Chain A
């Protein structure tokens, strides 16, 4: 099994996530797209781990750490979106202009 189709699929998933971040208007959907990007990075790590047949399994351990950090990130992100919704009555990111000059 060649590694190239896996890497291309991971790159495609990454660019799909970028597209989602740029296009979506709801903040929760932007967080979903970020999850797609993190997932593509995980795929790359595990594929390289299998390609190099690493005895220390660095790729798998890194992807476990990424999954953990992503869970923390989703919790904080949704809390921020919740607080913004409570103050602004909307979850559309183009209406959050608090830090705009």
Chain B
């Protein structure tokens, strides 16, 4: 077994452990911090798979922006900051475990039956090629996604405004 194999197994184990902590911890802030751990491990895994630009985008967009947004969401909705037993819906737990384990079993069975190749780890950077492809072959989706972001911006402002004409307090 090579060093990179041991390192990747360690990374995947860390990814799963922090992912499990995200959904089982009873503290809202701890869940967001463990999501940061999960995303950072994913970024390291992407660097290992020679996708360093995607790893950097993940760090910038997720760890930089989305987590901050989540923390703001937690604080604005006044979720209890300490440990909180009310966070989980206890009567759903058995049901949810059953469903997620069966989904995991089906996926694992299909994936192990279908794919049995080795990952090719290429030398050097793929970022230059990625930029050229993104602005030539994928230029239309690239421009389209900026409209999606603009729509999200306008929609977010419209929904979160205080003087919302669409949603009066007495209508709801």
Chain A residues packing against B (C-beta within 8 Å): 1-9, 11-20, 22-29, 31-33, 35-36, 39, 42-43, 46-47, 49-51, 53, 56-57, 59-61, 63-65, 67-76, 78-83, 85, 87-88, 91-92, 94, 98
SS class of chain B's interface: helix, strand, loop or mixed?
A: helix
**CA–CA, A85 and B148, complex, Å:** 25
Q: Closest approach, in angstroms, between the C-beta of A47 and any C-beta of chain B?
A: 6
Specify which chain A residues have a CB less than 8 angstroms from the CB of B122 in the assembled complex: 50, 53
B-to-A contact residues, CB < 8 Å = 2, 4-5, 8-9, 12, 15-16, 19-20, 22-23, 28, 31-32, 35, 38-39, 42, 45-46, 49-51, 53-54, 57-58, 61-62, 65-66, 69-70, 72-74, 76-79, 86-89, 92-93, 95-97, 99-101, 103-104, 107-108, 111-112, 115-122, 126, 129-130, 133-134, 137-138, 141, 145, 148-149, 151-153, 155-156, 159-160, 164, 167, 169, 172
- CB pairs A–B below 8 angstroms (7 shown): A1-B121, A2-B117, A12-B16, A20-B22, A31-B70, A36-B19, A36-B23
Shortest beta-carbon distance from B28 to chain A in Å: 7
Q: Which chain A residues lie closer than 8 Å to B152 at the CB level?
A: 71-73, 75-76
B79 proximity list for chain A (CB < 8 A): 26, 28, 91
